[in-house]
Amino acid sequence: MRDADIAIVGIGEARVGRDAGCTSWELHAEAVETALDDAGLGLRDVDGLISCPSTIDDHARHHVLLAEHLGMPWKRYTDSSRVGGASSTSAVRDAANIIRSGLAEVVLISCADSQRSTIGRGDTPVVKMAHYHSIDYEIPYGPLIISLYALIAQRWMHEYGWTPEKVAEVAVSQRYNASLHPGAQERTPITIQDVLNSKPITDPLRMLNCSLISDGGTALVVTTRERAQSLKQKPVYVLGMGNAYSYYFCWNLPDYTDYVRMLVQTSADTAFAQAGVSRDDVDLAFVGDPADICTLVGLEGMGFAKPGEGVDFVQGGRIRVGGDLPVNTHGGCLSYAHPGAPGQHLHLIEAVRQLRGGLGDRQVPDAKIAAVHGDAGVLTSHCTLILGNDR
């Protein structure tokens, strides 16, 4: 295993779930305060800031404005991570590189959004959608954001003969995991039949195949291994990082199965090689999951399931807490929460919690290594991190 030089030392969440009742700026501030308290640091210890812009309250220099809101107009480094859902793992990657290059020592990553309550600037929904998708070549035809994931799901189900019944196990497993987390937005256990009977949204995706819509804020504090030793929490080390970037619009992908799997694999292989650990060393995994199909694609691409067999891999409770490879132990975007930009930051926060230990029923026993895969832009942008509690 590689000798890790970067650690995550603080985590914080703010009002994650239903209607937070405030702007993203307040959520940022609350999450940051929690994360710094968790680390045993104060705002004056922070010399770098990475914001992940809110979809509702975005600004040209969001990171500078955020610093102003947080009361830290002095800082050595600020920037925004703009990789959609993968801004989570990408921001940690950027923090690691900033720290390694000597531009900052303590980097705060802050992310907040109010997609559920839409409290904020109040752009029209089409303008917000156009921020991500093509107002010329997609939106006139009426796809929801989640419809673009449905196009990928349809193709995987077609090529591999996956049935809705088998795919539904992802949602059922994620809800089981969420039932163990007191902070999850949806905790009531569901059955395969519940998934199949839920409201159609964008075939083949029904309501329970899709992520939730939430409000909430998240923050993480990243610093050097040396600095981490004197802080409050057991450090969680960044052992390896990898990326793969591809087209912006998913319909430009040469194909929706092999090519997409290859992107995840490229990102994961790089991270595993850098970490010097193998798939067998991984105790638990996290996959960005705007829709259940992403979890299945992720498990194949990360090398845990064979090509075309992702759906078989998840059967029998294998990705539940207590299973062979617990995945998204907080319930993921499907059941924990999906506040928009912070959706996959919650995966990172849960990974850190698991590697610190002491989570009771939800704890993966003796968890040492977590693989965290961030994906964005309908499986076109990827960033994987390997985290461990031992350097």
Partner 1 sequence: MPMDLEVVATSQDRPLPTPNSFSKPFWDGTKRHELVLQKCNECGTFRYYPRPRCPECLSGNTEWTKVSGRGTVYSYTIVHRPLARWFKDKVPLVCAVIELDEGVRMVSNVENVDPYAVTIGMPVRVIYDDVTDEITLPKFEPVPA
Please report, as ranges, the residues that interact with partner 1 according to CB under 8 A.
116, 118, 124-126, 128-129, 134-144, 147, 150-152, 154-155, 158, 199-205, 207, 210, 212-213, 249, 251-252, 256
Q: 329 and 321 in contact (C-beta within 8 Å)? A: yes
CB within 8 Å of 181: residues ≥ 6 apart: 187, 329, 330, 331, 336, 362
For the CB of residue 257, give the shortest distance to partner 1 in the complex, in Å. 11
State how far the Cα of 150 lies from the Cα of 262, in Å rounded to an integer. 19
Identity of the residue, 42 or 200, whose beta carbon is nearer to partner 1 in the bound complex: 200
Instruction: Quote the least distance from Cβ 155 to partner 1, whole Å.
Output: 5
Interaxial angle between packed helices 24-39 and 62-70, expressed in degrees from 0 to 180 and rounded to the nearest 10? 70
The answer to whether residues 48 and 77 touch, using CB atoms and an 8 Å cutoff, is yes
Query: Which residues, in sequence order, are bridge partners of residue 218?
Result: 13, 111
CB of 362 to partner 1, least distance (A): 23
Whole-number minimum distance, CB 304 to partner 1, in Å? 25
CB nearer to partner 1: give 110 or 211: 211
Least distance CB 214 / partner 1 (angstroms): 9
Query: CB count, 10 Å around CB of 5?
Result: 15
**Based on CB atoms, which residue is closest to partner 1, 285 or 378?**
378
Q: Return the number of the residue (134 or 233) whose C-beta is nearest partner 1.
A: 134
Q: Under a CB-based contact definition with an 8 Å cutoff, are residues 313 and 168 in contact?
A: no
Measuring CA to CA, how many Å separate 251 from each of 134, 210, 254, 257, 380? Answer: 11, 20, 8, 12, 10
Q: Which is nearer to partner 1, 197 or 229 (CB)?
A: 197
| Of 48, 51, 76, 85, nearest in space to 65 by CA | 51
C-alpha 326/C-alpha 255 separation (Å) is 29
Question: Residue 117 CB, nearest distance to partner 1 (Å)?
Answer: 9
State the minimum distance, in angstroms, from the CB of residue 337 to partner 1.
10
Note if the bond before 204 is cis, omega within 30 degrees.
yes
Identify which of residues 92 and 213 has a Cβ nearer to partner 1 in the complex: 213
> What's CA 200's distance to the chain center, in Å?
25
Beta bridge partners of 77: 48
Query: Using the 8-state DSSP alphabet, how is residue 371 labeled?
Result: E
* Closest CB to partner 1 among residues 151, 262: 151
Shortest distance (Å) from residue 176 CB to partner 1: 18
SS3 assignment for 73-109 = CCCCEEEECCCHHHHHHHHHHHHHHHHHCCCCCCEEE
Tell me whether residue 103 or residue 135 sits nearer to partner 1 (CB atom).
135
- The CB-of-24 to partner 1 minimum distance in angstroms stands at 16
Cα(68)–Cα(70) distance, rounded to whole angstroms? 5
Smallest gap, in angstroms, from Cβ of residue 139 to partner 1?
5
Residue among 74 and 137 whose Cβ is closer to partner 1: 137
* C-alpha–C-alpha distance, residues 294 and 286, integer Å: 11
Helices (H), 206-325: 225-228, 258-275, 292-301, 310-313
Cβ closest to partner 1, residue 16 vs residue 271: 16
